[in-house]
Amino acid sequence: MGMIETQKKIRRLLDDKNAILLAHYYQRDEIQDIADILGDSLALSIEAAETTADVIVFAGVRFMAESAAILSPDKTVLLPRLDVGCPLADKITVEELQQAKAEHPGTKVVTYVNSTAEIKAHSDICCTSANAVRIVGSLDADTVLMVPDGNLARYTARFTEKEIIPWKGFCYVHNNLLPDEVQKVKEAHPGAPVAVHPECRPEVIEMADFVGSTGGILKFARQTEAQKVIIGTEQGIMHQLKKESPGKTFIPASDHLICLDMKRMTLDDILSSLLEMKHVIQVPEDIRVPAGLALSRMLEASR
């Protein structure tokens, strides 16, 4: 079956089953093109919590589908492939988190949504890259332990008086972007602003003109007067950047900004998922309820 035929079949099945397709900006172009909602992690979790659809098909990585299942326990959440993790989410175990909490009594735990349901369940509140500063600001605590992404924690620390204790996790895609690479691209495109994701290392953040979530980077690109922008995040975002700002040029800060897990999902996987109603993502109640509290607190604080 050709690509367009598969896309049409998916759309028909989505309608027949009162299902919606949520897709992240890092997904393959042909998946982004047929999504009901294309967004960053925050926009997708808001939609997952509010949709009236019976079925949510998640084109993203596991933690995203898990969050949808936590927020909408009465809906069927399908993840078309099970081998799409986020390596960052596995950079902290519950035992490590318990130990860190014991070492810093009285500290609030802010957990990046790129985490397992179990870690969320042991947290005070969640955050995404779009709302981390606001979430930390909303807390009644002088010390905040931020897990699992150390770079996001260090970036957030720039905007608060609170003491931020960063966990040591990182995203291999963003952490691998090095200052020398950014410097070379800057020199090749003088005057072009640099927009990066807060999962990048501090030395790269220092070189950026804009730092934000994928949704934030898209907004910056739409609004800037610059005609050329250097992009320091996963390359999947290029598709939407070009669609939203067709007259502008977007230059990847490096050619290795590729998330293998995000790219694993194909249209055929989504088609099989809808035909066979697989793979249903469920979170056991003893984890779902406390994890849901941490996610709902985040949604409440970001309104």
Q: Does 173 bind ligand SF4 (CB under 6 A)?
A: yes
End-to-end CA distance of the chain: 43
Integer Cα distance of 303 and 300 in angstroms: 6
Q: Does 88 bind ligand SF4 (CB under 6 A)?
A: yes
Query: Nearer Cβ to ligand SF4, position 26 or 220?
Result: 26
Q: Does 214 bind ligand 13P (CB under 6 A)?
A: yes
Query: Nearer Cβ to ligand 13P, position 143 or 176?
Result: 176
Question: Least Å distance between CB 212 and ligand SF4?
Answer: 14
> Which positions from 284 through 303 interact with ligand SF4, judged by CB under 6 A?
none
Beta-carbon contacts of 198 under 8 Å, excluding residues fewer than 6 positions away, are: 129, 132, 151, 152, 155, 156, 205, 211, 212, 213
Question: Least Å distance between CB 41 and ligand 13P?
Answer: 3
> Which of the ranges 29-37, 42-50, 200-208, 257-265 carries the binding residues for ligand SF4, by CB under 6 A?
257-265
Integer Cα distance of 130 and 197 in angstroms: 10
Question: Least Å distance between CB 211 and ligand 13P?
Answer: 11
Integer Cα distance of 172 and 192 in angstroms: 25
Amino acid at 285: E
DSSP 26-83: TS-HHHHTT-SEEE-HHHHHHHHHH---SEEEEES-HHHHHHHHHH-TTSEEE-S-S-
Residues found near ligand SF4 in the complex (CB under 6 A)? 61, 86-88, 114, 171, 173, 199, 234, 259, 261-262
Residues found near ligand 13P in the complex (CB under 6 A)? 40-41, 114, 128-130, 171, 197, 199, 213-214
